[in-house]
């Protein structure tokens, strides 16, 4: 806390905003500062939620939870994300804000690759194990690195299905035109949107299974895609597992 009473991290946020507004800022510094500004903003909303739940656990006991659903809310689930329209804005890197042995099902897709591995990814999986009841299940889906790598090397034309499905609406579409770009998508997506959290780690079935097995789940199996829960656009090029406590 500064002498003005404003948290020092918020003062830093204002300073970064003013540096970013300077037209003379170099591209490299702007990229780095935008990432810091985003983390400061996320910390602010996490801090606001944390004030309501100082011990890091909400009072209620929702039994079905979606983590990192973004705009894809699931009816009947308690949706937790960094950003609206979630039911609770929470940074999962700080833990899962639920009581131990309280949830029957956790669902998350295209979320795990956005948090750092191993620290945050393994912490998340351990937290999921803590909050699930015995017999409870967590379903996790991520972009399938094995799928992207299996197409490399190989010919690619501009109407390639992978590009069409993954990039049609992206600003960087015109610059994505080789098989290696599709490998890059899985490993380091994405630079064209300054508000987007990039991919921080790539997974195939083996790598996705590993943290759940290590965390003590009894079984970890492939999950059969169910579009009544999952985002239908994730069916293609993704790998899912279901882990049972």
What is the contact surface with ligand SAM in residues (CB under 6 A)? 68-70, 72, 81-83, 91-93, 109-111, 114-115, 197, 231, 234
Nearest residue relative to ligand SAM (C-beta): 70
Which residues, including other chains, have CB under 8 Å from residue 42's CB and lie 6 or more apart? 82, 91
CB-wise, 20 or 83, nearer to ligand SAM?
83
CB of 244 to ligand SAM, least distance (A): 21
Which residues, including other chains, have CB under 8 Å from residue 239's CB and lie 6 or more apart? 141, 142, 143, 144, 146, 147, 203, 204, 205, 208, 222
CB of 79 to ligand SAM, least distance (A): 10
CB-wise, 6 or 35, nearer to ligand SAM?
35
**What whole-number distance in Å separates Cα of residue 52 and Cα of residue 65?**
19
CB-wise, 156 or 241, nearer to ligand SAM?
241
CB of 92 to ligand SAM, least distance (A): 4
CB-wise, 19 or 42, nearer to ligand SAM?
42
CB-wise, 114 or 137, nearer to ligand SAM?
114
CB-wise, 68 or 237, nearer to ligand SAM?
68
CB of 4 to ligand SAM, least distance (A): 29
| Nearest to 68, CA basis, from 47, 88, 98 | 88
Task: Identify any residues that bridge with 132 across adjacent strands, giving them in sequence order.
Answer: 103
The token duo for 92 is 């999962």
CB of 133 to ligand SAM, least distance (A): 22
CB of 70 to ligand SAM, least distance (A): 3
**What whole-number distance in Å separates Cα of residue 204 and Cα of residue 122?**
16
- DSSP strand E in the chain: where? 64-67, 78-81, 88-89, 103-109, 132-143, 219-222, 238-244
> 3-class SS at 104?
strand
| Nearest to 63, CA basis, from 107, 102, 108 | 102
């Amino acid at each position: 806390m500064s002498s003005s009473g404003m948290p020092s991290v918020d003062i830093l946020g204002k300073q970064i905003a003013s540096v970013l507004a300077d037209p003379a800022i170099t591209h490299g510094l702007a990229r780095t500062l935008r990432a810091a500004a985003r983390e400061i903003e996320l910390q602010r909303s996490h801090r606001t939620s944390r004030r309501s739940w100082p011990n890091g656990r909400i009072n209620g006991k929702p039994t079905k939870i979606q983590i990192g659903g973004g705009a894809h809310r699931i009816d009947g689930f308690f949706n937790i994300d960094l950003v609206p329209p979630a039911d609770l804005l929470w940074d999962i890197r700080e833990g899962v804000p639920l009581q131990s042995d309280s949830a029957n099902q956790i669902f998350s897709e295209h979320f795990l690759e956005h948090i750092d591995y191993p620290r945050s990814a393994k912490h998340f999986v351990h937290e999921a194990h803590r909050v699930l009841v015995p017999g409870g299940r967590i379903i996790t889906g991520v972009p399938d690195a094995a799928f992207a790598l299996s197409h490399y090397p190989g010919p690619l034309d501009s109407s390639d299905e992978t590009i069409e499905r993954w990039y049609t609406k992206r600003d960087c579409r015109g610059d994505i035109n080789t098989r290696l770009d599709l490998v890059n998508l899985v490993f380091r997506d994405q630079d064209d949107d300054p508000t987007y959290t990039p991919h921080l780690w790539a997974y195939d079935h083996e790598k996705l299974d590993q943290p759940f097995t290590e965390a003590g789940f009894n079984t970890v199996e492939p999950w059969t895609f169910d579009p009544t829960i999952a985002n239908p656009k994730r069916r293609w090029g993704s790998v899912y597992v279901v882990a049972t406590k």
